[in-house]
Structure 1
Amino acid sequence: MEKTVKVTYLYNSGFVVELGTNALVFDYYTDKADCLSDILQKYKSVYFFVSHSHFDHWNPAIGKFSQNVRKYFLSYDIHNMETLPGEKTVVMNEYDEYKSDMITVKSYSSTDAGISFLVSIEGWNIFHAGDFNWWHWKGDTEKNNAFARNGFLKQMKKIAGMEADIAFFPLDRRLEEYCDWGVKEFCRQTNVDNIIAMHNAGRQAWPLKTNASDGRHTNVWSPELSGETIIIKKDR
């Protein structure tokens, strides 16, 4: 079992996770620090994950990395996949599961487009929320915000009790003082050791302080600049 992983921030909700002999790439759409190619050259086993079809999460250019890619895991709402090799592409619906001797991938629903992922590999559980969040927008109607709240809490019932070493979760400052409602509730109902804030492209990080459901401290990393990295040690 790998005891540490290295995480590199690409942009928005895009990250690379390096662990052991594998590299995981989540929601790449741009690489402002131009670091992805160099990272992936070190690995023969690479997995890409695309949570949904929004332009800031999905870029067909990920097909250019196919030589080193073992699998592409794509949400069901992505249709323009001509750049990807079909034999390496797995399209996932909500609540699907993919298993191999190397990796297990479970999908969950979202409160926006597409899906979220729970990835188990080399003894690590890694959750990427995609655009799953409590999207409470200041100035929106009471009806719309109630709908957003109900949708979020309904999905949390499916996720409650999840154990993860790392969870990538939106902490988008455009929601202003409501931006951490979703991640705090997520941490309250799950057991997550490390939160990595995302979907905050080009904005100052929010100073999040939160704890896991059983009172354990949850580490928080809120990267701001593309190319920033962190080393995470396994706590469980």
Structure 2
Amino acid sequence: MNIYYIYHSCFIIENLEYVLIFDYYKTPRKKNPLINMEDFIIKMDKKVIVFSSHAHADHFNPEILRWQEKNPQISYVLSSDIKLKTVPNRCYIVSEGNEIKIEGLDIKMYGSTDAGVSFWIKMGNKVVFHAGDLNWWYWPDDTKEEEEFMKNSFQKVIEDIKKNNEKINIAFFPVDPRLEENTFLGGKYFVQELHPENIIPMHFGKSYNVIKEFCNELKRTGTKGIIISECLEKLEV
């Protein structure tokens, strides 16, 4: 299994059978990039499935719907808050609590503490989780009531995920430095409760130093934090 970081919350997972693309936003400009999105979109010998967790512009770009012009076999799994004038072929509109099977993948939709859904995917003998905007969004200026509501909402989703009783091998989870002293709160709770094999930070802008700090915090937890150094990068997992 190969994993590539594109930008923000967009990652690509590729194995011998599948190409999974999550929350495509944009391809940043970079001199001599090692990764070309086009190469993944047009892979006719693999099952290409594109996921968008919610409608926010930094997680959903309508450009993805045009990818079918290049590869008619692409499938989409889109959160129901994404409003489309025309629903393309091979497109599944999903909400929290849905379970679907696509191209041999078992996919479950869990909640979010912002918008849309998070994705739990059984891919052969591996389990992948992409959080979308599921996080413990504990802002410094929140009221006590807002803090309590967020805590309860986030912990409820984590409890729902726990009911799977299957270990998550790869988790993509927000580590957002705008939360200041609470930047690691959601990620550390996720690790504490779900014990994923690997966790890959996202939604961090260009704060790569925060990623290194977060990964260091996870030492001795049994979960490996994957360090990201730049966009359009193949990750060492």
Rounded Cα–Cα distance in structure 2 between residues aligned with 1:224 and 1:56: 20
Is 1:202 the equivalent of 2:206? yes
2:112 to 110, 113, 117: 110
**Which SS does the other structure have where 2:207 is aligned?**
coil
Contact 2:228 2:235 in 1 (8 A): no
SS of aligned partner of 1:90? strand
Q: Structure 1 residues 101, 28: CA separation in 2 closer, same or farther (over 3 Å shift)?
A: closer
Alignment correspondent of 2:11? 15
1:217 to 222, 229, 233: 222
8 Å contact from structure 2 (residues 16, 46) kept in 1: no
Superposition pairs for residues 68-107 of structure 1, below 5 Å?
Answer: 69-80=73-84, 82=86, 85=88, 87-100=89-102, 102-107=104-109
**CA offset at residue 173 of structure 1?**
0.8
The answer to whether 1:30 aligns with 2:38 is: no
Deviation of residue 228 (structure 1)?
1.3
Comparing 154-163 with 6-15, which one deviates more in the overlay?
154-163
What are the equivalent positions in structure 2 for 1:115-126 lying under 5 Å apart? 115-126=117-128
- 8 A contact 2:77–2:92 mirrored in 1: yes
CA distance in 1, matches of 2:197, 2:17: 22
CA distance in 2 between counterparts of 1:25 and 1:69 reads: 14
The CA distance in 1 between the partners of 2:92 and 2:176, in whole Å, is 29
The AA in structure 1 aligned to 2:23 is D
- Closer, same or farther: CA 57–81 of 1 in aligned 2, 3 Å: farther
Distance 1:205 1:39, change over 3 A: farther
What is the letter of the counterpart of residue 29 of structure 1? Y
Unaligned ranges ≥5, structure 2: none
Consecutive unaligned residues of structure 1, counting only runs of 5 or more, are: none
Between the two proteins, the alignment pairs up a number of residues equal to 223
Contact 1:108 1:115 in 2 (8 A): yes
Q: CA RMSD in A?
A: 1.9
Deviations 1:158-186 (A, max 9, x none): 12255211000000111112111111111
Tell me the distance in 2 between the aligned counterparts of 1:205 and 1:222.
Answer: 9
Corresponding residue of 1:172? 176
Separation in 2, partners of 1:157, 1:100: 25
**Alpha-carbon distance in structure 2 between the residues aligned to 1:35 and 1:81:** 29
Pairwise CA distance, 1:101: 5.4
- TM-score normalised to the size of structure 1? 0.87
What secondary structure sits across from 1:164 in the alignment?
coil
- Counterparts of 2:190 and 2:142, CA distance in 1: 23
